[in-house]
Amino acid sequence: MAPVAVGDTLPDGTLAHFDEQDQLQQVSIHSLAAGKKVVIVGVPGAFTPTCSLKHVPGFIERAEELKSKGVAEILCISVNDPFVMKAWAKTYPENKHVKFLADGSATYTHALGLELDLNDKGLGTRSRRFALLVDDLKVKAANLEQGGEFTVSSVDEILKAL
């Protein structure tokens, strides 16, 4: 399947997260993105070095700037279970705006065409690193990394697209 691209309609899918009352919830991507400008950040794995030290912190640190430019939601997706995503989110106590969503079986990652085969490293199917800017379900920017690179999916690149 071809990777999601500029001009595409964002596919719908169901992801999991823990709400403010610590209850496990299922949420539709379309319910979070319809009629809004959203940023979707995809990472290969929670707690991994580049994801934890560079990629996600940029979106947390500059969330207010994104919001000031009309971004309603900042969604971080990883092929991990919701318990791992909850634990990872807790490592960012300063976070007020980034929602951590679990794609445990990589179903949504496959729908985006952004799966990354890391079986040779014992990690199974993961997500490519990416950042999407979506406006009312239409992809306006699709910053997709190759392999483990971190060159085009930073918060700076998304801010340039706004």
Residues carrying an active site annotation: 51
Beta bridge partners of 100: 76
Beta bridge partners of 46: none
Q: Are 45 and 56 in contact (CB under 8 A)?
A: no
Question: 117: which residues sit within 8 A by CB, 6+ positions away?
Answer: 125
Strands of the sheet with 37-43, listed across from one edge:
24-28, 14-18, 98-102, 71-78, 37-43, 130-135, 138-144
Question: HSE on the CB side for 146, CA within 13 Å?
Answer: 0
